[in-house]
Amino acid sequence: MQAKGEFALVTQSIETARRTSGQPVKRGTMAHEHHIHMLLTEAAAQRRDAGALRQAIPGFEELALRDDNKLYRAIAQRAWGVAHRLAGEHAEAKRRLDQALELFSELGTRWQIGRTLFEMGESAMAGSDPAAARQHYQRALAEFEALQAMPDVERTREALRGLD
């Protein structure tokens, strides 16, 4: 599957950067390996690319666990949730998304909480539970509205309209 759009460009740029020497390095001029893995994982999740997710997540998750980085562990959990949803593995998707939400809630990262709630809505829809989907989308919408994250507000409102 050929990736398209802005997330394909992100992935292409990151892959090119990974193959390019970063020398000489000045303080703050070179992305760390876990940042690159996070960007690849997030781009694959946004593209809904199951193959790219299954390729990107393990390395990213390994780094997140090694560094005990709670934010990156949560992002990896959410990405696994998306991957499992795409594979039709609804129980495992729910488990991973619940773990991601718990970690993001501990961190107080409202935008990440909203994104995870949106994914929980997508997962509920895939599992034929529109009532749960509505609840998750409404909670996501509240988070996005509080932050005035307008692209996410509009995307979530569109998902809610799709339930009507």
Read off the pLDDT of residues 142-151 as tens digits, 9 standing for 90 and up: 999 999 999 9
Residue 115 belongs to a domain: yes
Q: Distance between CA atoms of 13 and 18, rounded to whole angstroms? A: 9
Of 106, 31, 34, 46, the residue nearest 79 (C-alpha): 46
Residue 20 belongs to a domain: no
Residue 5 belongs to a domain: no
Q: What is the pLDDT at residue 122?
A: 97
* Location of structure tokens 């599992």: 127
Q: Residue 66 has which token pair?
A: 């090694």
Bond before 24 cis per omega within 30 degrees = yes
Name the residue range of residue 120's domain: 32-163
Q: Distance between CA atoms of 112 and 93, rounded to whole angstroms? A: 17
In which band, very low, low, confident or very high, does the pLDDT at 3 lie, cut at 50, 70 and 90? very low
Residue 26 belongs to a domain: no
How many distinct structural domains can be found in the chain? 1
Residue 22 belongs to a domain: no
Residue 129 belongs to a domain: yes
Read off the pLDDT of residues 35-92 as tens digits, 9 standing for 90 and up: 888 888 999 999 999 999 999 999 999 999 998 999 999 999 999 999 999 999 999 9
Residue 40 belongs to a domain: yes
Q: What is the pLDDT at residue 36?
A: 84
For residue 143, the domain's CATH number is 1.25.40.10
What is the pTM assigned to this prediction?
Answer: 0.82
Residue 4 belongs to a domain: no
